[in-house]
Amino acid sequence: MSSITTTTIANLALGHLGDHRIDDFDEDDPHASDIRDQWEITRLSCLATYEWSFASKTVLLDRSGTAPLAQWLYAYDKPADWIRTNAISDASSFDRENIFRRWMDRGGQIQTDAATIYMDYVYDHTTIGSWPSWFVDYTASSLAMRINPKVTTSQSHGKTMMEMTRDFLGTAKARDAQQQPLYKPPRGNWIKARRGGWSGVG
């Protein structure tokens, strides 16, 4: 585990915006206050951006005791630490034949006709010291983009931060992909439906 903390990321963000620095994330400082205001939404937004391998896991979902009123047979509760759904399957192997396409995310539950389902998902990863460096860079640039109006009034600088954040995201996705196996089973049309339910394919 690295020594990276919220203070580290805060100072990386401030560094993008000029010669600013804080000693502690929780200190009584205007810049620290601005960062705290934006920190949680930035962290959650960055985690939800992509299927990060370092923040993903697979679980067997618990079926709800109350069935959906209409359309689907079963409802399953999403994990308490859920951030983003990567895939839904009716078998733990997540083979192409078992990737489930007929489902809907509604009211904090997954609704479907499958009697058993597994979910691969991005979870609420709060252990910052174990975040990969490239995700730290992406999060810091995203944080800088959010606090930019409070730290500097330059509109051109705001545009620069947007472009920088886009570049950091591209790098982070590429680096994350390198952590994956060289071969992945074909996934068919499920990729179009994994976040919104049924793709229209039977």
Nearest-angstrom CA–CA distance, 56 and 58: 7
Higher-confidence position of 95 and 88:
88
What pairs with residue 75 in β-bridges? Answer: 111
- 3-7, 101-105, 130-134: least confidently modelled range: 101-105
Taking only the tens place, the pLDDT of each residue in 157-183 is 778 889 999 999 999 999 999 877 644
State the average pLDDT over residues 75-98. 86
Which helix (DSSP H) or strand (DSSP E) does residue 118 occupy? strand 118-123
Contact indicator for 160, 51 with CB cutoff of 8 Å: no
Contact indicator for 76, 62 with CB cutoff of 8 Å: yes
Q: What is the pTM for the complete model shown?
A: 0.83
For residue 174, what are the contacts with CB-CB under 8 A and spacing of at least 6? none
Higher-confidence position of 32 and 189:
32
Nearest-angstrom CA–CA distance, 61 and 75: 10
